[in-house]
Each structure stands twice: as structure tokens, then as C-alpha cells.
Amino acid sequence: MKIGVLKETQKGEKRVSISPKIVKQLVDKKFEVLVEKNAGKSASFKDSDYSSSGAQIESRGVVFKEADVLIKINPFDADDLKLVNEGQILMSQLFHKSQPELVKAIANTGASAFSLDAMPRISRAQDMDVLSSQSNLSGYKAVIRGAYEMTKIFPLMMTAAGTITPARVLVYGVGVAGLQAIATAKRLGAVVEATDIRPETKEQTESLGAKFITVENETDDVSEGGYAKVASEDYLNKQKEAVNKSLFQADLVITTAMIPGRKSPVLITKEQVDQMKNGAVIIDLAALQGGNCELSKMNKTVIHNGVKIIGTTIAPESVSTNASDLFAKNMFNFLTHLTEGSQFKWDLEEEITNATLIVYNGEIRQNGKID
């Protein structure tokens, strides 16, 4: 079986889906690997690194023509699909719930497609979960970006000229990105607080030395598939009241709340921003899906009443070497799970396959069945 590694074409993307180290492991598993020329350049991987690991370096057209499996990080676009052949297998983040037209277009090619962002949040799928591996880096980079944008330092510092008090950091959403943001901000010496709709995150927050802001919730049904569910308007109002004191004192706010296939919940309104400290910074990691701050704009910095609001995915592409290494390992584990003797098993009843296989031989699957 031939694995095709495509160069990412999305603007600003610097990652690559398979690293040279993973190429060697795939070759050892009897796969052939075709890598598009310069696919790993922006992640600091040279073509010679890939060829030394056993890959063939080819043009984009050849990779599309000859590969049995085509792998990308970002969704296949219209130009990609013009080159896809019937029977090929596509693997990428498809965000299929919010992109039904893309799914239809893939089905029209007669190909099969796995959506990497649909990986179920179960223990045996953890080492295949690209959202988790990349979110971990996002949380780290959010703090580093915040440190760069702030006009203060994080730690307590005692000097001959006086004492500098530590910065205050508030994190919305204690998932993978939020936990890493908490840990990174604490390591840098900040006073950290966090909030989340899921009560089980309180212990995780406190284990990292941060304060958890508890918000009363009338229902226990607050998570689904490992993600927080959409909160009620009543809960969001209670959250605002509970968090406002910390929000208005914060020097850095990091928001991470996203719900797959839906618009990000608005957790910080314009009215709240109006009451924040002059010079405060908001890093909104949910900006791609509308943002957790009402004023966020994707890939833009908005300054409102002295508060700097940065809308971003913080993309792990800013640490593209590490991000590519982790993504590639996820892909190796996923491919190993799906195949036997370098051929696909197509076990459609198996939980991981069932959740991630969105198109099968040109037919769209819904809830584990052909639509």
C-alpha cells in the first residue's frame, strides 16, 4: 500500500502530516511512502530527511495519481478533489459536521474519507487523537503569546527598586489546551484561576496549583463525547457573575471553549471587556468558530477600551516541528489500528473506525450507516 503525504496549502500552515521519523516506521511496516516535494520544509524537515528514511519524493500530481492513501492535516479543498481518484482513501481533519458540502464533494469522487477530528474520546484512541496532541501545544503557545503581548511579567520579582507583583491569568475551559495553559502560566510564576462547566475539571485544575471558580449547575448532563456541551443561558449568566471579579482583575485571559461542529459559545461580552483592566490581553483560541469573546476576529488583533483581543487558533503551526512530530505519531497509530499486513481491515463495526469513517467508497455514512 502506498501512503501519500501532501504539502499543506492552507495559508499560514507550516505543519506536515507525516515526519521523516514516522516514514521510517511506516516503511518498516511494509508501506511505501510518497512525499510531495518540500512538504516538510516549513516544519524544518528536508526532502533528504524523507528520502533517507525510505520515502520517495514526488510532484503533487504523482502523489495524487499513485498513492492509495492521501494524508493531509487540513481539509481537502476543491483543487485537491479534482485530483482524487475513485477508490482512494483520504485522511485529514474534515470538520464534517460543519462542512456537509465538502463531504458530498468527496463522496462524488468515489473515494473513502476518514475525519481525524471525529476521533472518539475513549482511552484506547488517545494516542490517535490529533485534536488533543495539537491542543496541548496550543495551550502552551497561548501563554507564550500572551506573555509577549502583555506589558507586565508573570512572576513575583523582588528588586532593589521595589517588588513586582505576579500577573493574574484566567483560563476559560479546562480541556487539553486549558490544562496546558494553566500549567505553563504557573511555571512562569503567575497567579492562575480557571473555570469550566464540567465539575470534574475542578480537581484537575487544583492539581496544577490553580484556583477553580465554581459555578452552580442544575444539571449533571454537561459533557458529551469528552467535550463540554452547550450551556444554558441561565448557566452562562451565573458563570459571568461568578467569574467577573477574576476577569476584571486579570492581566491575561485565555479562552479555549469549543464544541465540535458548532459556533463557539460567547463567554466574554463587550460589556465585560469594557470593565477589564487597561492593558489586559485576551487570547481567544476559539476564534475560528466565532470566538469566546464577542469582539474577537480570526487572525486579527482588536483593541477595545485598552484591552487587546487576539483571535487565533494558535496554531500549533507556530511550533510546526513539534506539532508535526505529534500529528505524525497520531497518524502512525491510527494507520496501524486500521490495517493488518499493510492492508485496510474495514471493520465498520469497530468503534474508532465507525466514528471516523465519514465516506466509504463514495457513500456518505451517518451514525455508522450509509446515508
Tens-digit pLDDT profile for residues 166-183: 999 999 999 999 999 999
SS3 261: coil
- Report the pLDDT value the prediction gives residue 220, as an integer from 0 to 100: 54
Distance from C-alpha of 190 to C-alpha of 153, rounded to nearest angstrom: 9
Residue of 227, 235, 249, 318 marked catalytic: 227
Q: Is 126 a catalytic residue?
A: yes
User: What confidence tens digit (pLDDT) does each residue in 340-353 have?
Assistant: 988 999 999 999 99
165 pLDDT tier (thresholds 50, 70, 90): very high
Q: Name the grid cell of 134.
A: 495539537
Q: Name the CATH superfamily for 2-128+320-370.
A: NAD(P)-binding Rossmann-like Domain (3.40.50.720)
Residue of 19, 88, 93, 132 marked catalytic: 132
Distance from C-alpha of 357 to C-alpha of 349, rounded to nearest angstrom: 11
User: What confidence tens digit (pLDDT) does each residue in 6-34 have?
Assistant: 999 988 899 999 999 999 999 999 999 99
Q: Is 124 a catalytic residue?
A: no
- Report the pLDDT value the prediction gives residue 97, as an integer from 0 to 100: 87
- The domain ranges of the chain are 2-128+320-370, 135-318
Q: Is 132 a catalytic residue?
A: yes
Residue of 44, 98, 126, 343 marked catalytic: 126
For the four alpha carbons of 342, 345, 350 and 355, in that order, the dihedral sign comes to positive
**Residue with the larger pLDDT of the pair 302 and 366:** 302
Residue of 68, 117, 129, 251 marked catalytic: 129
230 pLDDT tier (thresholds 50, 70, 90): low
pLDDT over 80 (residue 154) = yes
Beta bridge partners, 34, equal 4, 56
Distance from C-alpha of 166 to C-alpha of 187, rounded to nearest angstrom: 12
Q: Is 50 a catalytic residue?
A: no
Distance from C-alpha of 50 to C-alpha of 16, rounded to nearest angstrom: 12
Neighbours of 164 (CB within 10 A): 14
Q: Is 227 a catalytic residue?
A: yes
Contact of 322 with 298, CB cutoff 8 Å:
no
- Report the pLDDT value the prediction gives residue 229, as an integer from 0 to 100: 57
Query: 362: closest CA among 22, 107, 3, 170?
Result: 107
Contact of 92 with 116, CB cutoff 8 Å:
yes
User: What confidence tens digit (pLDDT) does each residue in 88-141 have?
Assistant: 999 999 989 889 999 999 999 999 999 999 999 899 999 999 999 999 999 999
Contact of 348 with 341, CB cutoff 8 Å:
no
Distance from C-alpha of 277 to C-alpha of 280, rounded to nearest angstrom: 5
**Residue with the larger pLDDT of the pair 360 and 217:** 360
Contact of 206 with 193, CB cutoff 8 Å:
no
Neighbours of 127 (CB within 10 A): 15
Distance from C-alpha of 250 to C-alpha of 206, rounded to nearest angstrom: 18
User: What confidence tens digit (pLDDT) does each residue in 186-223 have?
Assistant: 999 999 999 998 888 999 999 999 999 987 765 555 55
Q: What is the mean pLDDT of residues 26-55?
A: 98
Q: What is the mean pLDDT of residues 51-55?
A: 98
313 pLDDT tier (thresholds 50, 70, 90): confident
Which numeric CATH code is attached to 135-318?
Answer: 3.40.50.720
Q: Which long-range contacts (CB under 8 A, 24 or more apart) does 27-31 make?
A: 27/53, 27/54, 27/55, 29/336, 29/342, 30/341, 30/342, 31/1, 31/2, 31/3, 31/335, 31/342
pLDDT over 90 (residue 84) = yes
SS3 370: strand
231 pLDDT tier (thresholds 50, 70, 90): low
Q: What is the mean pLDDT of residues 250-274?
A: 91
- Report the pLDDT value the prediction gives residue 237, as an integer from 0 to 100: 77
- Report the pLDDT value the prediction gives residue 98, as an integer from 0 to 100: 84
Query: 20: closest CA among 313, 257, 362, 324?
Result: 324
Q: Name the grid cell of 219.
A: 444539571
Q: Name the grid cell of 34.
A: 510518497
Q: Do domains 2-128+320-370 and 135-318 have the same CATH topology?
A: yes
* Phi, then psi, of 350 in degrees rounded to 5: -70, 140
288 pLDDT tier (thresholds 50, 70, 90): confident
